[in-house]
Amino acid sequence: MRAAAPIASMAQFLQVLLSGLSTGAIYALAAIGFTLVWQAARTVNFAQGEFVMLPAFFVLIGVHWLHMPRWLALVFGLIVAVVVLGLLFKKVVVEPMLPNGGLPLIIATMALSILLKEGAKQFYGAEAQPFPSLFPQTTLHVGGAVVSVQDLMNLIVSLAVVVGLTLFLNRTRTGRRMQATAQNPRVAEILGVNTRRMVLYAFLVNAALAALASFLISPIYLAKFSNGETLGLVAFIAAIVGGFNQIRGALAGGLLIGVLDNLTATYVTTEYRAALPLVLLIAIILWRPQGLLGVDEGRKV
């Protein structure tokens, strides 16, 4: 009987750790896209949470209204997301506003988040909708903790995305052009890079990542118009805490927040669990604004 207690608590620790990693992996996907858009166009997208909320609804429209088979609806959802949240967003919202500067763009993206949220509510419905899981529901037992296939796939997909994206940005020509555009658009332009197109790619990739995050998270979160509120905030925090100018920073930030949130809720306090990421955010911004894995950009005079 003596041995049961530490084993039981070890199992509990493992449970919340693994669940935290799984949720954190999804936060990471949202944060990565957010970072990309920031780097490429200096745009803080306050509607990022809604970008993750919406693609699930596109899929549901495909399944319930257009009577597509599930796999086709997912592809449909992805394409619509990339077009609407990537292309249209850039052309209709961001581009006209870039000359006006930072604040109007922030306000516009805040208004956009309201528009998307209310739009989902009015046109689809206020109630949460079940969303089909991409993976079988089987569970595995790891050292007393229960892990689902979904949990594992979240982690694997996020890692794959980070690795793939990093390779793409560093090894391919387009990727390097995107990096050049992000670091110094004027020089890149002079050197013959089509900066406008590179910026567009960043938005398209963000939309695709948001869609992916949406498909992975909606089976658990359920598709609901208000999902964007929490997801958006966590995406910002993950991106900033991890490091705004590094892709792996967003991954690290997302995982860290997912795990710490669960650990706090289990071992420290449930009423203030939401405070932890906020305190972390404040601490990082004040003492290490480039984030845990970020690179100090130095002061721009």
Partner 1 sequence: MAAAGPSWRRRGEEGLRTRRLTPILLLLGVAALIAAPLGRTDYVIYVLSSWLTFSIAAMGLNLTLGYAGQISLAQASFMGIGAYTTALMTLVGVPWLIAAPAGVALCFVVGLALGFPALRVQGHFLAFVTLAFNTLFFLVARNEEWLTGGSYGLSNLPRPAFWAFDTARNLPFYYFTLIVFLASAALMWGVVRSPWGRAFRGLRENPVRAESLGVDTRRITLLAFAIGSAYGGLAGALISPLVQYIEPSSFAFSQSLRVLLMVVVGGAGLFLGPILGAAVVILLPEFLRFTEGYYLMIYAAAVIALMVYCPTGLIGVGRRLSDRFSPKREVRADMKLGARS
Partner 2 sequence: MIGPKFLAAGALAAALGLNAGVALAADTVNIPCVCELSGAGAVAGTNFHDGAHMAVDEINAGGGILGKKIEMTDMDTQTDPMTSRALIQKAIDSGAYAIMGTIYSGSTIVNMMVAEKAGVPQFTGAEAPNITEKHNPFIFRTSSGAEKGVPALTSYFKDHLKVGKIAISWVNNDFGKGGHDVFLAQMKKAGIEVAADVPSEQGQADFSADVSKIKQSGAQAVFVYLNEEEGARFLKEARKQGLTAPLVGEVTLTGQKVIDLAGGAAEGAIAHVGLATSAPVPSIEDFVTKFKKRYGRDTDHNGIKGYIGVYAIKYATELNGKFDRKALADKLHGLTLDAAKYPNMLLTTSWDANGELSRESFITEVKDGKQVVTGTVPAN
Contact residues for partner 1, defined by CB under 8 A: 44, 93, 96-97, 99-108, 110-112, 114-115, 118-119, 121-122, 233, 236-237, 240, 271-272, 274-275, 278-279, 281-282, 285-286, 289, 301
Phi-psi label, residue 11: left if phi above 0, alpha if psi -120 to 50, beta otherwise: alpha
Tokens of 298: 């130095």
CB 144 within 8 A of CB 10: yes
Cβ proximity to partner 1: between 152 and 233 the closer is 233
- State yes or no: residue 206 binds partner 2 (CB under 8 A): no
Q: What is the per-residue DSSP string for 41-80?
A: H----TTHHHHHHHHHHHHHHHHHTS---HHHHHHHHHHH
Phi-psi label, residue 132: left if phi above 0, alpha if psi -120 to 50, beta otherwise: beta
- State yes or no: residue 214 binds partner 2 (CB under 8 A): no
Among 3, 99, 173, 270, binds partner 2 (CB under 8 A): 270
Residue 23 contact, options partner 1, partner 2, none, Cβ 5-8 Å cut-off depending on partner type: partner 2
Q: Which residues, 6 or more positions from 152, have their beta carbon under 8 angstroms from its beta carbon? A: 22, 140
Phi-psi label, residue 131: left if phi above 0, alpha if psi -120 to 50, beta otherwise: beta
Cβ proximity to partner 1: between 219 and 232 the closer is 232
Residue 270 contact, options partner 2, partner 1, none, Cβ 5-8 Å cut-off depending on partner type: partner 2
Residue 297 contact, options partner 1, partner 2, none, Cβ 5-8 Å cut-off depending on partner type: none
- Of 41, 81, 83, 47, the residue nearest 197 (C-alpha): 41
- State yes or no: residue 179 binds partner 2 (CB under 8 A): no
Task: Give the nearest distance from C-beta 275 to partner 2 in angstroms.
Answer: 11
Residue 8 contact, options partner 2, partner 1, none, Cβ 5-8 Å cut-off depending on partner type: partner 2
- State yes or no: residue 128 binds partner 2 (CB under 8 A): yes
Residue 272 contact, options partner 2, partner 1, none, Cβ 5-8 Å cut-off depending on partner type: partner 1
- State yes or no: residue 262 binds partner 2 (CB under 8 A): yes
Residue 156 contact, options partner 1, partner 2, none, Cβ 5-8 Å cut-off depending on partner type: none
CB 251 within 8 A of CB 258: no
- Say which residue the tokens 């100090």 belong to: 296
CB 215 within 8 A of CB 223: no
The residue range among 58-66, 127-135, 206-214, 245-253 that interacts with partner 2, by the rule CB under 8 A, is 127-135
